[in-house]
Amino acid sequence: MNKEELVKIKEKALNDHIPIIMDDTLEVISNILKEVKPKRILEIGTAVGYSAICFSGFLEEDGKIDTIEREHDRVELARENIKRAEVEDKINIIEGDAVEILPSLNEVYDAIFIDASKGKYPFFLKEALRMLGAKGIIFADNVLYKGYVMSDYNKHKQRTAVRNLREFLAELQSNEELETKILEVGDGLAIARKK
Ligand code: SAH
Ligand code: MG
């Protein structure tokens, strides 16, 4: 991977107000991926490819990432960035709405990163669980959504997202096949491992 390019990609994304993974969240996920050495990763929410490029450094030999993005301009930028970072052999971008794409996938993934529309997290979880391999691990970003999820303030205009994030967390925590942790890093990170 070309790390100099990665730094530039990150700076440009921040300048352009593209919502990329926060440093502390990335650090937590990276430390786990270093141990897990996944062969197959699924990402929901590519944006401009920053997190996928970062994760590609932790893949096992011949490993691959599938990543889904619905905004065409972002897909184009992500393609460019992935080339510049010299990891185009490791990352496969799927353009489209994950709500439509996910049911058409039939792969087994070692790690799944959920980082797209918060109102869809319960659906993403259902699909993620269908494709998660033995000992697989799910990461979900933004699960505390600026503190709204854990507060009783629910008149916010994003209340549907908040309700769905709460449902998502409740499902994770009640699922007996998973061991779940919710960390207050970044905007809230859920980590769920298959027992
Ligand atoms: N993982 C990226 C950031 C993703 S931001 C990183 O850390 O670098 C979330 C992205 O998800 C946005 O680009 C948005 O367009 C995309 N998105 C949101 N809902 C989606 C959906 N239902 N299907 C596909 N992409 C979606
Ligand atoms: Mg995010």
Chain segment 23-59, per-residue pLDDT in tens: 999 999 999 999 999 999 999 999 999 999 999 999 9
Closest ligand 1 atom to residue 74 Cα is 13
The domain spans of the chain are: 3-194
Q: What is the pLDDT of residues 109-132, one digit of tens each?
A: 999 999 999 999 999 999 999 999
Label residue 152 by pLDDT band (50, 70, 90).
confident
User: Does the Cβ of 115 fall within 6 Å of ligand 1?
Assistant: yes
Ligand 1 atom closest to the CA of 18, numbered from 1? 5
Can you give the pLDDT at residue 149?
79
Between CA 15 and CA 17 the distance in angstroms is: 5
Segment (H or E) for 27: helix 23-36
The Å distance, Cα 127 to ligand 2 centre, comes to 19
The CATH topology of domain 3-194 is Rossmann fold (3.40.50)
Other CB atoms within a 10 A radius of the CB of residue 133 amount to 16
Q: Which of residues 47 and 146 earns the better pLDDT score?
A: 47
Measured CA to CA, the distance from residue 153 to residue 162 in angstroms comes to: 10
